[in-house]
Amino acid sequence: MKWLSSLRQAATVYLRGPRPSDEEMNRRLGEFLTAMGRVENDMFRLGNLLHEGGVDDAFDEYAKLTFGPKINWLKALFGPFEFPRAYTPSGIRKAVCSVSL
């Protein structure tokens, strides 16, 4: 059955392509984490503007949450505010699709 595992391994490499090097994987992970950090930083700064308490209170609430609940935290702060239709995802998509080049 050794030939079967070799065949599976060869098929996996063929279908998925060569495995990236450790350096490449570390670079990609670093880019992902950097981007996530920027998103979370922007979310916190925006939430801090709407938070009733000071920055310390906002940070204490925010730091305890994982990414999904952080989105809900931000949505809860925006609760009473409504964005114009043009700033919703469907409004932005409509505006982008209507641009002629």
pLDDT in tens, 40-66: 998 899 888 888 888 899 999 999 999
Q: Which residue has the higher pLDDT, 91 or 42?
A: 42
In a domain, 13, yes or no: no
* Residue 4: Cβ-neighbour burial (10 angstroms; 0-12, 13-18, 19+): exposed
Q: Which long-range contacts (CB under 8 A, 24 or more apart) does 82-89 make?
A: none
pLDDT of residue 96: 56
In a domain, 54, yes or no: yes
Structurally, how many domains does the chain consist of? Answer: 1
In a domain, 11, yes or no: no
3 pLDDT more than 50: yes
Range(s) of the domain holding residue 72 = 18-97
In a domain, 1, yes or no: no
Q: Which residue has the higher pLDDT, 20 or 46?
A: 46
Return d(Cα 50, Cα 36) in angstroms, integer. 21
pLDDT of residue 22: 85
* pTM for the full predicted model: 0.58
pLDDT of residue 20: 75
